[in-house]
Amino acid sequence: MQLIQTIIAFLVALGSLVTIHEFGHYLAARLCGVKVLRFSVGMGRVVFSRRFGKDQTEWAISMLPLGGYVKMLDVREQGADQISAEDLPREFCRQSVWKRIIIVAAGPVANFLLAIALYAGLFLHGIPEPIAKIRVPSVNSTAYHAGLRHGDLILSINGKPIHSWGDAQWELMQRALAKDKVAELVVERSKDLSNTDALNGQLDEHVDRVVDLPLEELTAKDLESDFLSKLGFSLARPPAVLGMIIDGGRAQAAGLQEGDVILAIDHVPVLDGLAFTELVNASPDKPLQLHVFRRQQEFDVIATPESELANGKKVGRLKVQMMLVPEMTVVQSGLSDALLKAGQKTWDTSMMSLSMLGKMVVGEVSIKNVTGPLTIADYAGKTSRSGLISYLSFMALISISLGVMNLLPIPVLDGGHLLYYSLEVLTGKPVSARFGEIAQRAGLALLMTIMAVAFFNDIVRLMS
């Protein structure tokens, strides 16, 4: 069932985005007075079509669902002798260079506008995201030496307000890509209270602090993965509060109860539920002294995790559920703010995509980051299973990627045609047919190479 859902989610996403892209070309062509012969969703042989309108434009569904196209009246395809004198003024090549630029650019622009519309709708509705509270497990980390502490809540980065963990990740990546040496973080920190005082419900007092976080040690390769872990921090997790105790497990045998809070293991304070889980997993058949808080009392118990085999390795299990879901917030905006934020996010994502592509060209970022349809399909399935908000966010991101990709100055893509027309604007004459033919072949070869690399990376990623 998951495979079927993945295929459907992929086809719906790609089909919608390609249709919007081609509709941008179609609408611009109609507005510029060019006759449109066919609008096809899909490539290859037409399996269904109907004709509508004064021009009897053919609206078609073609066999291959990957792609689509708009076929306009074009002397290069139909031949001048096949076009009536009445239709010649509406032929594509007879339009001014500025009209041709508008028609070609309208496809990518449609993708960017779709992304803005999707993001704006999501911001209006409200997006649940983890709050920007950080986890600093090591006193030897860059984050700790800079002054960050476990539980700090990031309020702003370089003066930009931070509303969620996603905002914090994004802004720090932007600063790292811009090669900033330091990022200025304003964080909210609770005044030091003991674990017992905090759990007894004493009023937290907060103070704002400014922390200069060094980014110099981050490389372009670090940005390809979890770069925050190299700086020594990650997303904060809830305290080590035990959930349901499973019958017959070692937790039940030790007398642990649901709601117990684990303050320390073997006299070492427990940072949070994740630290507790990791330590238990690393201690099969090893007795652990747990310091427990229960109903205003603290006491010690001995629990020995049961040894189980997982992925060929022995791990410890106490058979107790742990709450590891981070504290969440809902990022929501009014209409004007939603549109502004959506436009900014679309712009920032586009610029970051171009920056990463540029770094791939000069070798600063690995070409392993080039992904193809298999990876896109995988993420389509995963986000569709996560919910509508995740799926629409995924569609917005892919729509931006499609717009950016099509604007690259590669012949056979929209960006290649825009390059031709820009040269025509500068020189006052169109590029020669011979030059165009050679460039098309070179562009097609380059595009096929990129697709081969993408497919190879997809297969390696899925197999690993």
C-alpha–C-alpha distance, residues 161 and 341, integer Å: 12
Closest CA to 51 of 43, 42, 59: 59
Q: Is 91 one of the catalytic residues?
A: no
Distance CA 347, CA 170 (A): 13
Specify the DSSP class assigned to residue 364. Answer: S
- 242-322: what fold? Pdz3 Domain (2.30.42)
Residue ranges of the domains in the chain? Answer: 97-126+339-463, 134-235, 242-322
Residue-level pLDDT, tens digit, the chain, 464 residues: 788 889 899 988 988 999 999 999 999 999 999 999 999 988 889 999 999 888 899 999 998 877 889 999 988 887 777 888 888 899 998 999 999 999 999 999 999 999 999 999 999 999 899 999 999 988 999 999 999 999 999 999 999 999 999 999 999 998 988 889 999 999 999 765 445 555 555 545 678 899 999 998 888 777 777 899 999 999 999 999 999 999 999 999 999 999 999 999 999 999 999 999 999 999 999 999 999 999 999 999 999 999 998 888 899 999 999 988 899 999 889 999 999 999 999 999 999 888 888 888 877 777 887 888 888 888 899 999 989 999 999 999 999 999 999 999 988 899 999 999 999 999 888 888 888 888 888 888 988 888 888 888 888 887 77
Q: Give the DSSP per-residue string, 405-450.
A: HHTSS-TTSHHHHHHHHHHHHHHSSPPPHHHHHHHHHHHHHHHHHH
Topology alike, domains 134-235 and 242-322: yes
Please report the pLDDT score of residue 193 as a whole number: 45
Q: Residue 192: its pLDDT value, please?
A: 54
Catalytic residue among 22, 91, 171, 306: 22
Give the chain's end-to-end CA distance (angstroms, integer). Answer: 22
Contacts of 349 (CB under 8 A, 6+ apart): 115, 397, 400
The predicted pLDDT at position 120 comes to: 96
Structure-token pair, residue 412: 């056979």
Question: Which CATH code fits 134-235?
Answer: 2.30.42.10
What's the pLDDT score for residue 457?
Answer: 85
The rounded distance, in Å, linking the Cα atoms of 257 and 332 is: 38
Collapsing DSSP states into helix, strand and coil, what is residue 454? helix
Residue 195 has a pLDDT of 52
pLDDT given at position 460:
85
**And the tokens for 150?**
């476990």
Return the pLDDT at 311: 81
pTM of the complete model: 0.81
10 Å Cβ neighbour count for 27? Answer: 15
